[in-house]
């Protein structure tokens, strides 16, 4: 016999109804204030090293010995075999366009005179299917093709901050 799945209707969520009068006469304790919420985010050893190498103008990946895959962006374990990755490998800042889109509006719905071209770039030196999403620039949008060879255009070294935006865009190689 199948077991019945319980739903929210199966629970009795009785509470005490409060009236506006109880609030206005101070019978209910309330407080007001401005929250001061702070947070910190740790991106872990793989992405931390990846971002540091972006600051240095280089792309770095992790290698899985068991699957023989070079993974970019790097991760500390392989999502296929669940084994720890074993070494760092520098990869080139060139690759091919795996897929792309011509965007005539920004993410916040503002029209663009020249389309943005977000693309997935399979990076040379990483395993097939591995790469990053970034922008194509410096070319006629009508000439972008799947399989097109591209090269990273980096910010000047003094302006880099350890972010994916240290690569301004990819341009035809």
Structural contact between residues 119 and 170, judged by C-beta atoms closer than 8 angstroms = yes
Residue ranges making up the domain that contains 61: 44-172
33, part of any domain: no
164 assigned to some structural domain: yes
Please check whether residue 166 lies inside any domain of the structure: yes
User: From first to last of its 173 residues, what are the pLDDT tens digits of the chain?
Assistant: 666 666 666 777 778 888 888 888 888 888 888 888 888 888 899 999 999 999 999 999 999 999 999 999 999 999 999 999 989 999 999 999 999 999 999 889 999 999 999 999 999 999 998 989 999 999 999 999 999 999 999 999 999 999 999 999 999 99
* The pTM of the whole model exceeds 0.85: no
**Residue 24 within any structural domain of the chain:** no
- Cβ proximity of 53 and 45 under 8 Å: no
Query: Which tokens go with 132?
Result: 């990053």
Q: Answer yes or no: are the C-beta atoms of 118 and 98 closer than 8 Å.
A: no
Q: Does 110 map to a domain?
A: yes
Question: Domain for residue 12, yes or no?
Answer: no
Q: How many domains does the chain have?
A: 1
Inside any domain, residue 38: no
Q: Which tokens is 5 given?
A: 């799945």
Structure tokens given for 36: 């001061």
């Amino acid at each position: 016999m199948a077991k019945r799945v319980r739903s929210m209707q199966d629970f009795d969520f009785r509470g005490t109804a409060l009236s506006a009068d109880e609030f206005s006469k101070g019978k209910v304790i309330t407080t007001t204030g401005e929250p001061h919420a702070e947070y910190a985010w740790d991106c872990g050893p793989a992405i931390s090293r990846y971002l540091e190498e972006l600051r240095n103008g280089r792309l770095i990946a992790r290698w899985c010995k068991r699957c023989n895959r070079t993974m970019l962006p790097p991760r500390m374990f392989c999502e296929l075999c669940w084994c720890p990755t074993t070494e760092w490998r520098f990869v080139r800042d060139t690759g091919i366009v795996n897929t792309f889109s011509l965007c005539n509006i920004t993410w916040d719905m503002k029209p663009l005179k020249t389309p943005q071209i977000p693309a997935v770039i399979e990076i040379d030196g990483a395993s097939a299917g591995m790469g990053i999403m970034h922008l194509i620039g410096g070319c006629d949008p009508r000439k972008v093709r799947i399989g097109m060879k591209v090269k990273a255009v980096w910010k000047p070294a003094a302006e880099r901050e350890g972010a994916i935006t240290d690569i301004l865009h990819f341009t035809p190689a």
